[in-house]
Structure 1
Amino acid sequence: MLMLAGLALVVGSGGAAAAWLLLKLIALATNLAWYDHASFAPVSIVPAAHGVRTLLVPVAGSMVIGLMARFGSEKIRGHGIPEAIEAILFGQSRLSPKVAVLKPVSAAVSIGSGGPFGAEGPIIMTGGAIGSLLAQCFHLSAAERKTLLVAGAAAGMTAIFGTPVAAMLLAIEVLLFEWKPRSFVPVTVAALAAIAWRPLMIGSGPMFPLVAPMMIDATTLVGAAALGVVVGVLASSLSSALYRIEDGFHRLPVHWMWWPALGALVVGIGGLIDPRVLGAGYDNIQALLDGSMVARAIVLLLVVKAIVWVVALGSGTSGGILAPLLMLGAAVGALAGHWLPGGVGLYAMAGMAAMMSASMRAPLTAAVFAVELTGRLDALPVAAAASVAGYAIAVLVLRRSILTEKIARRGRHLSQEYTVDPLSLVRVGEIMTRDPDTLLATMSVADAAVFFGDAPHRSYPVVDGDGRPVGLVSRADALRWMDSPPDAGAPLGDMISDGSLSTVPPTLPVDRVAELMLAEDIGRVPVVDDGGMLVGLIARRDLLLARTGRHSDERDRMRFTGRKAQ
């Protein structure tokens, strides 16, 4: 763990540097595409988005991305987080140098040319690639590579948004699939390293400061929860629409390299209707939080942004999903804030939390992310109410999140539910077969063969005169020994006394037995007491029964009212 924490310092610094570089590349691409000059100064697309240029620039940028994906790496397609999850779960946390270079470049081209995305998905992929590549330079296990990959992803997200705690929670809820000191400590170190570098590279303070006064009481909590329900329905609809559109692109009779350009046509049309939908649109999020946008403008932004985003993302172009989700959630919340008590900014923030939670199935991350982005820790209860409500609705409506659906479509199904392994809660003594039938070590092989002719089981433990197990004998063993006449009269103890028998105590957790069976490729293990005497036998079937018993606690319902306790 200490070694990984040390490497995480390097990964965190690399993630912060990659985030700085990505923002500079986005600014350069924006200036080149819309203002015809090279500059790293951040600019808005809105003043330059007019006329035929609004159609041509997004299409040209998407054609470049299609070529990069076709002749560079297909892994730059999409928003990056599903690809990072897939690399963690199914690719032994190995990412290539090509992805580390092409992903931020393609994202810069996409966002700079007007793509309705944010920088967070690509930087999560790029930061993860930095961690993975560093890990591959050392003699590390796949689990240790995963830790450094996720540490890089958390560092990149922290550097972009200035949200270290939310980045740590995102690592746990979305990427790590575990909560262990071995992984959590290095991820924390990387996130803290990135936030330490951020004031020097990008800036300090909350990214979207919310300074307006707000009222937080029971009424606003109820209002935030109701908002979460509405946003949860919208998020589920957007996720379904995204994958229907993606399916539609797959049915087109053209190579997937040209899909981003076709999607960019819709983006360009959307830009003609409302130029604010082009690019990351961070200034729109700030305006929604400030309450400076009228209801009609909010509705237009909400509808057009939602359409161009799902079409562009469904086409397979490169870009992140967090910024669009935040904008859409803030728009719904700002609309609600015009009628609900508590202030427009409060509900815009709550809408951001609800949209992120419902879409990504990360309620804790979303609530903390919203308050870190706005610098309003006092609004955490409101953010939590909206986040959990949106999450609950999304879980009821859709089987998978916007992240895991893409992975499932590749034939890899996974669950984001975190539970304790049922086998770790059960002891061997609770499920073992007590006082099993045994064979004596003095029994001859010939007698054992006769015994197995009518025996109900395929194998039995062999014990010495004191009742201590010395081995296990199966029907196949006895018949094999009978093929050699000198072995027929040999006692069983002589045939199996190689000292390799594995035994377990009745107090051992069952998950440890499962690991033993897997490691030694055995199906039955004798259970012995402190004196080494055989007291039971545990088989693979017992493990399945133990898991089934624990699952019944989830399924079976019964009423105890009015019954006498036993």
Structure 2
Amino acid sequence: MNPKLLSIVTKLNYWRKQKISKANFLIVAAAVVGILGGIAASLLKQLTHFIEDSLQNDLHWKYKYYLYLFFPLMGIFLTLLYVKTFIRKSKFQHGLTPILYSISRDSSKISFHNIYSQIISSAITVGFGGSVGLEAPIVFSGSSIGSNIGRFFGLNYREVTLLLACGAGAGIAGAFNSPIAGMVFAIEILLPTFSIPVFIPLLIAVATASVVSKIFYPKPLFVLVTEGWHMNALVFYVLMAIGIGYFSVYFFKLNFFIKKQFGKIKNPYNKVWIGGIIIGLLIALLPALYGEGYVTIQALLKGRYTSLLGNSIFSDFQSNPWWLIGFGLLTLFGKSFASLFTIYAGGNGGTFGPSLVMGGLFGFLFAFTVNHLGTLLHLDTPQLNITNFIVVGMAASLSGIMHAPLTGIFLIAEITGGYALMVPLMIVSAITYFINKANTRFSIYTKTLADSGELMSHEHKDGNILRMMKLKYLIEKDFVVLKPTDTPKSRSHDIIHTQKNIFPVIDNDGILLGTVSTEILLELLVNKDEEGINKTMQTIFQPAPDYISINTDMFEVMQKMDSQNIRIFPVVNDNMEYLGFVSKSGIMNKYRALLKRDSDFM
């Protein structure tokens, strides 16, 4: 940081610490995060829809619809080109998994460029027809706003994490004009532990973001007025929930299968070509896959069911209900492939939006099929309210795929005005959540972190705190270093006056050769045996029985200490150069400090 700017920041921090209490400052900071998060959400929606309108409405050419085959490819290519051209100094990431990793392992630090790069890249991807959602990018952008404001003011880890969550919640609130869902999302997905005090800054952030978003982008995502639900439809809600639960398991497995296949392709431009062409072909066959897909859901909510077949090569069969059901199934599964191909081919977006769209499609197909079969076979079944099943299906899908039932319930209730459906929303969200969790345990966002041991969870608080520690900050360097040619006599002063009970022996290149205990050296000096006190360390030291690499996880360090019953280990870098020692007492002191900090704040 520039010295003058650093001086200004230091003075500003000193002033606010003197004049504003920590609790009050966090509320002010949360309001600022909320304002900026709301602006970011509005900007992303405006930019994305500007690109979409320009391509679909402003471009006048007789054969422009043939370009739809290539628009997704162009969008992914431009996204990759933007990232490689403008984001050079840090790694560009997308989705919610990197945010969770940042909270668990990187002190909630998110690079500043994500504030704008997530908006630009995702707008290009989705605006050109990429079949993903804008929610993950706006959450990433909002989280970056909160993280960087917290770090700018020198706040501690917990305070930065709270502002990060405020930014994420503000992103959701701004994207959907749904403050309650934004707050629930932040707590349910991002905050591993929380208590009542964190609600106030979150409430301020999401409410502010929602107001700002309505000012800049007042158009609602969905318009719905529901008449409530009937008890005789309850069993069908349960059956649909079971179906969506297993569909969410399918999508979970499909996600990691496609991720693995694209991981085998090393050249990023080859990923663009393969993914872009496949997405273009899917959209040419199934036009509803273009972009986020909310337009399709809105049309279904308004009762325009034949819109699924509209503008497709099968539009002549719109009046045939079986064609509508079959085409709807193709669109449902096509969305699952198109969204994942867009992400792993190099586009920027998330599965949050596709989860809603797939859930809505599933709900429509379920209710429409039941009604059609009931009429066709003259069955004594109730005529299901298709609109209600679309709405409830969206909540069920989000709950299962994200392992976030509360977010699913309140988000759908807010954006559709479907509070009259609260009971069905609660039932289906709970069922899909438990089905998915029973089959996958971790959500689509947390599995990668869980597999690598980097997931912060409620069940393993000790491991969470250990993994928050950085080994490089726990290295003790105040040990007397001995050379192989040193003797007890030549280093007698250091040996007698040291407070440590062990000496590292390193060569002229800094390579760790071994260790020698203070007890052995003192015994040689006390005995005053001329031969003994003139022995070189080369003949005295013992090779280190084991050592710790600087890149070792702190949880593994403690496991190693416990399994070998050793309380201190030398630490080396990748070239075996000596760096210092790490002790169990040092780790436990840091552990207690972090535990106290957590309990004081949360």
When normalised by structure 2's length, the TM-score is: 0.65
1:373 equivalenced with 2:373 (yes/no): no
> CA–CA distance in 2 between the matches of 1:83 and 1:212?
38
- 2:36 equivalent in structure 1: 14
Residues 243 and 477 from structure 1, CA distance in 2 versus in 1: closer, same or farther, beyond 3 angstroms?
Answer: same
How far residue 287 of structure 1 moved from its aligned partner, in angstroms, is: 2.1
User: Could you report, residue by residue, the CA deviation over 1:436-483 in whole angstroms, capped at 9, with x for unpaired residues?
Assistant: xxxxxxxxxxxxxxxxxxxxxxxxxxxxxxxxxxxxxxxx99999999
Name the CA shift for 1:15/1:519 in 2 (closer, same or farther; >3 Å).
farther
**Structure 1 equivalent of residue 68 of structure 2:** 54
> Contact (CA 8 Å) 1:290, 1:344: kept in 2 or not?
no
Match of 2:172 among 129, 154, 157: 157
Could you tell me which of 100, 106, 129 is aligned with 1:114? 129
**Aligned-partner SS, 2:305:** coil
The offset of 1:170, in angstroms, is 0.8
1:152-199 Cα deviation digits (max 9, x unpaired): 111111011011111111111111111224433211210011122232
State the distance in 2 between where 1:271 and 1:520 align: 58
Change (3 A) 1:484 1:151: same
The aligned counterpart of 1:207 is 221
TM-score normalised by length of structure 1: 0.69
SS in 2 for 1:97: coil
Q: Which residue of 1 aligns with 2:436?
A: 394
Residue 52 of structure 1 aligns to a residue in which SS?
Answer: helix
User: Is the contact made by 2:111 and 2:144 (CA closer than 8 Å) also made in structure 1?
Assistant: yes
d(CA) in 2 for partners of 1:366, 1:158: 13
Q: Which aligned pairs between 1:158-557 and structure 2 lie closer than 5 A? A: 158-203=173-218, 207-217=221-231, 219-252=232-265, 254-294=266-306, 295-296=324-325, 297-338=327-368, 339=370, 341=382, 342-408=384-450, 411-414=452-455, 521=585
Deviations 1:133-168 (A, max 9, x none): 211210210111111111011111101101111111
Deviation at 1:366, TM superposition (A): 0.8
The separation in 1 between residues aligned to 2:386 and 2:198, in whole angstroms, is 39
In the alignment, residue 149 of structure 2 is paired with which amino acid? L
Measured after TM superposition, the shift of residue 372 of structure 1 is: 1.0
C-alpha separation in 1, matches of 2:77 and 2:269: 8
Instruction: State the Cα distance separating 1:520 from its structure 2 match.
Output: 10
Letter in 2 for 1:4: L
Q: Which residue of 2 aligns with 1:133?
A: 148
Aligned length: 429
Verify the 8 A CA contact 1:226 1:389 in the aligned structure 2. Answer: no
What is the alpha-carbon distance in structure 1 between the residues aligned to residue 304 and residue 588 of structure 2?
Answer: 70
- The one-letter amino acid paired with 2:107 is Q
Residues in 2 aligned to 1:81 and 1:378: alpha-carbon distance in whole angstroms = 31
Whole-Å separation in 2 of the counterparts to 1:101 and 1:48: 36
The CA distance in 2 between the partners of 1:407 and 1:66, in whole Å, is 25
Gaps of 5+ in 2: 1-22, 307-323, 372-381, 464-516, 527-581, 593-602
Separation in 2 of the partners of 1:519 and 1:28? 58
Q: Percent sequence identity over matched residues?
A: 26
Say whether the 8 Å CA contact 1:361–1:391 is kept in structure 2: yes
Alignment CA distance shift 1:28-1:207 (3 Å):
closer
Q: Given the superposition, is the C-alpha separation of residues 132 and 213 from structure 1 closer, same or farther in structure 2, using an over 3 Å criterion?
A: same
Q: Displacement of 1:303 after TM fit?
A: 2.7
Matches of 1:108 and 1:523, distance apart in 2? 45
Aligned amino acid, residue 235 of structure 1: S
Deviation, 1:128, is 0.9
1:149, 1:524 → 2: CA distance? Answer: 28
How many Å separate the matches in 1 of 2:245 and 2:33?
35
Asked if structure 1 preserves the Cα contact closer than 8 Å seen for 2:146 and 2:167, the reply is: yes
Letter of the 1:163 partner, please give it.
Answer: S
Runs of 5+ consecutive residues of structure 1 not aligned to the other structure: 38-44, 423-475, 486-517, 526-539, 541-566
Over aligned residues, Cα RMSD in angstroms?
A: 3.3
Q: CA deviation at 1:266?
A: 1.4
Question: Which amino acid in structure 1 is aligned with residue 77 of structure 2?
Answer: M
Question: What letter matches 1:69 in structure 2?
Answer: V
CA deviation after TM superposition for structure 1 residue 413, in Å = 4.0
TM-superposition CA deviations, 1:320-363 (whole Å, max 9, x none): 22221111101111112222644111111111111101100011
Distance (whole Å) between structure 2 residues aligned to residue 125 and residue 229 of structure 1: 31
Hey, what's the Cα distance between the residues in 2 that align with 1:22 and 1:277?
20
State the Cα deviation string for residues 203-232 of structure 1 (Å, max 9, x = none).
Answer: 16x632322434232x33332222111111
Corresponding residue of 1:501: none
For residue 275 of structure 1, what is the amino acid of its counterpart? P
Decide which moves more: 292-301 or 413-422.
413-422
Letter in 2 for 1:216: H
Closer, same or farther: CA 48–4 of 1 in aligned 2, 3 Å? farther
Amino acid at match of 2:455: L
- For the 8 Å contact 2:105–2:454, the answer to whether it is kept is no
Structure 1 Cα separation of the partners of residues 357 and 173 of structure 2: 19
**Cα 1:336–1:75 shift into 2, 3 Å:** farther
User: What is the rounded CA distance, in whole Å, between the counterparts of 1:115 and 1:318 in structure 2?
Assistant: 9
CA distance in 1, matches of 2:223, 2:182: 18
* CA 522–131 in structure 1, closer or farther in 2 if over 3 Å, else same: closer
Distance 2:91 2:392 in 1: 33
Indicate yes or no: 2:47 matched with 1:25.
yes
- Mapped to 1, the partners of 2:524 and 2:31 lie a distance apart of 64
Q: CA deviation at 1:420?
A: 9.0
